[in-house]
Amino acid sequence: MSVRHCTARPCGAVRLVRRGRTPLAVQCVFCEPRTITAAAGWLLVQDGKLDTNDRVCDIVAEFGTHGKDIITVEQLFTHTAGFPHAPFKPTDWHDRKRRLERFGEWTLNWQPGSRFEYHPTSSMYVIAEIIERKSHVSFESFVKSRIIDALGIDDLYLGCPDAEHGRILNVEHVGDALTAKDYEALGIPAPPVTEVTEEALTNFNDAAVRRVPIPGGGAVASAAAMALFYQGLLDGGVSLAGRKIWRDDTMRDALRVRTDFPDYFGVPVNRALGVIVAGDERRNARGFGHSNSPQAFGHGGAGGQIAWADPATGISFAYCTNGHDRNPLRQGRRGVSLSNRAAICAMAED
């Protein structure tokens, strides 16, 4: 595993502080890169090509079946779209006919806009399709040219090229899972069963899956790359050509909390446009440290991945691991502890 953080300096320079035993390794960081997909969508809004109030079916007609014609683009970003369990085989992405057929087959689990339930992958596939239709280039090409290359970031791949596969650390599952009795003794409900199973995560050791630019969870990256991406979001991301990538008004709108529906455990979710905002004193339940400011934003990933940026301090932080702890409570506590330490250490260095 490896940990990186980078701290913005008043002069505009960025210092990269390295930690860890595998500086050249990369791994699948799962849902961390949802923010990258979201940030690509923000660019379309900024360009005047997309409105989050648009109905999805007006952009992707094949999607508007089985009552899904009322779903808005914003609901895709905020996990309020109503189809969290819709199945999609990653390798179907490259088969456009099959991709669109799958969108049409999906049905609703509940009324769109009525509640929050995490959509592990389904809604982000639709956002990627929208990006392709509005930009007229492939999803991965748009992200690479407008974000990754523009920021000059290495070791970040949505759809990993074969030449890089030898550097990827395989997913490994470690520790013992909590039992039903354990949850009962703790007085908390067991997490719901979703598509994010050990088998599904282990499938990301397959080269065919790694090649797919999975928009909701499947990028291959180093912790340094993720921290640098988030650092770019803090200051609007000045490109290598010297142009600001995201305008200030774009970022303000993107980071505005759109829904505070409760999650499975009753904690308000504080969902902005594709990211989580830390918010009040329960920010640790949203994957942030107690020392993060309420304005911090980011997104975690399966297995305990962490990535966030804090506008109050100028700190961005990422923790990536291929060792997936089967105990979600221990995993969560570790994440809060790491985030606390990252914030405190970086502030101390100033």
Average pLDDT of the chain? 89
70 alpha carbon, distance to own chain's centre: 25
- The pair of three-digit structure tokens given for residue 178, joined into one six-digit string: 């909590």
pLDDT in tens, 304-315: 899 999 999 889
pLDDT in tens, 289-301: 888 999 999 998 8
| Position 6 confidence tier, pLDDT thresholds 50, 70, 90 | very low
φ, ψ for residue 264 (rounded to 5)?
-60, -30
So what's the pLDDT on residue 350? 56
So what's the pLDDT on residue 342? 86
φ, ψ for residue 223 (rounded to 5)?
-65, -35
Stretch among 38-52, 161-175, 276-290 having the lowest mean pLDDT: 276-290
pLDDT in tens, 142-167: 999 999 999 999 999 999 999 999 99
CA separation for the pair 13, 316 (Å, rounded): 14
Q: What is the DSSP letter of 144?
A: I
Cα angle vertex 52, ends 48, 58, to 5°? Answer: 90
So what's the pLDDT on residue 103? 98
So what's the pLDDT on residue 346? 59
**CATH superfamily to which 26-280 belongs:** DD-peptidase/beta-lactamase superfamily (3.40.710.10)
What's this model's pTM, rounded to 2 decimal places? 0.90
- Amino acid at position 65, single letter: T
- Amino acid at position 162, single letter: D
Residue 238 contacts by C-beta under 8 Å, 6 or more apart in sequence? 232, 244, 245
Better pLDDT: 345 or 94: 94
